[in-house]
Amino acid sequence: MSRPEIRQLQPEPAPPPDLAALLGQVARGDHQAFELVYAELSGPVYGVVRQVLRDPAQSEEVAQEVLLEIWRTASRYDPDRGSAAAWALTIAHRRAVDRVRAENACSRREQKAAEPEPAEDDVAETVAATLEHQRVRRCMDGLTGLQRESIKLAYYGGYSYPQVAKLLGVALGTVKTRIRDGLIRMRDCMEVTW
């Protein structure tokens, strides 16, 4: 048998579910639709929370809160304003950072902030070689060192931009500019359209 025929026998990869439509169903109280949303988002939600918080138990707790929040506030998702994944992952990252700041207030992480763990390849370590990961990686490589470090410390490290400025020993204005310029470059490199 020739190769093309064999290929035809292979199952088509399932198309990714339409998250925006699913969230609409979730907003109407559809538990089955929520299971599909859970299947799609629990990995990225847990991953980003874990990236910021590090502690597995705490990450699990926060990720659960986030996923329940997605159930609770599904009616507030507005497809005109962005993708469903971005909406959900914004909630996830924000919650993780809120948790970091709450801890900071109790001065536990302040000491850690003074001597940050090397942030280099945490991402690669935890992540399967997904397509998305490779793409992000490649686009990260296209940034200047300062842009890359600023974005990593802010997003994956959960640091505020003044903390990032202190860690990198640069002026506040510089960090704000580098984060923005770097993200814009990432956006163009990954051909994000919104």
**Which residues in 30-59 contact another protein (CB under 8 A)?**
31, 34-35, 38, 42-48, 50-51, 56
Query: What is the rounded CA–CA span in Å between residue 63 and residue 93?
Result: 10
CB of 5 to another protein, least distance (A): 35
Question: Are 84 and 23 a contacting pair, CB within 8 Å?
Answer: yes
Report how far Cα 168 is from the mean position of its chain's Cα atoms. Answer: 22
From the list 1-9, 14-22, 24-32, 113-121, the region that binds another protein by CB under 8 A is 24-32
Structure tokens at 183: 């993200």
Place of tokens 């793409």: 135
Question: Are 89 and 45 a contacting pair, CB within 8 Å?
Answer: yes
Binding characters for another protein, 77-116, by CB under 8 A (x = yes)? -x-xxxx-xx--xx-xxx--xxx-xx--xxx---------
Cβ nearer to another protein, comparing 9 with 57? 57
Cβ nearer to another protein, comparing 5 with 190? 190
